[in-house]
Amino acid sequence: MIAAEIRNEILDILSDIVPDEDLSQLDDSLPFREQIELDSMDFLDIVMELRKRHRIQIPEDDYVELNTMAGTVRYLEPLMKDIRPS
């Protein structure tokens, strides 16, 4: 997956986790939590979905990298480069 595809995948996961939110105006540079109602259990849902869908294991120390959309895509790029978009 390339960056744009990873971003779409994260948006797809978020649309399940926070189905009441409008994600179309998401600013990639701002923290998720400043833009949408996303608590710690929701954040763990993102981690779990990446694990379930793509077998990606994210260590707890790296959670801080997933603060923004831009940071999440940047962090996942090397981990998802060999995954083909479904």
Partner 1 sequence: MIAGNGDHRRIVITGVGLTAPNGNSLAEFRESLLAGRSGVKNYEIRYVGATHAGVCAFDELRHQKKKEVRRGTRAGSVGIYCANEAVRDSGLDWENVDKSQVGIYVGVTEHGNVETENEIFSLQGFDYDTKFWSHHHNPRTVANNPAGEISLNLGITGPHYTIGAACAAGNAGLIQGAQMLLLGECDVALAGGVSESIHTFGIFASFKSQGALAKHEDPAKASRPFDRGRNGIVVAEGGCIYVLERMSDAAARGAKIYGELVGHAMNSDASDFVLPNSERQAQCVRTALRRAGLEPEDIDIVSTHATGTTSGDAQESAALREVFQGGLKTRFNNAKSFIGHAMGAAGSLELAGNLLAFEDRMCHATINVDDLDPECAVPGLVINEPEPLGEVNTILNNSFGMLGINSVVIIKRV
Which residues in the 56-85 window bind partner 1 by CB under 8 A?
A: 57
Minimum CB separation from partner 1 for residue 12, in Å? Answer: 15
Number of chain residues interacting with partner 1 (CB under 8 A): 14
Residue 13 to residues 6, 31, 49: CA-CA distances in angstroms?
11, 16, 7
d(CA 25, CA 10): 14
Minimum CB separation from partner 1 for residue 44, in Å? Answer: 5
d(CA 40, CA 48): 12
| Kind plus residue range of the DSSP H or E element containing 44 | helix 40-54
Per-residue binding letters, 20-59, with partner 1 (x by CB under 8 A): x----------------x---xx-xx--x--xx----x--
> Token digits for 28?
């990639």
Contacting positions for partner 1 (CB under 8 A) = 16-20, 37, 41-42, 44-45, 48, 51-52, 57
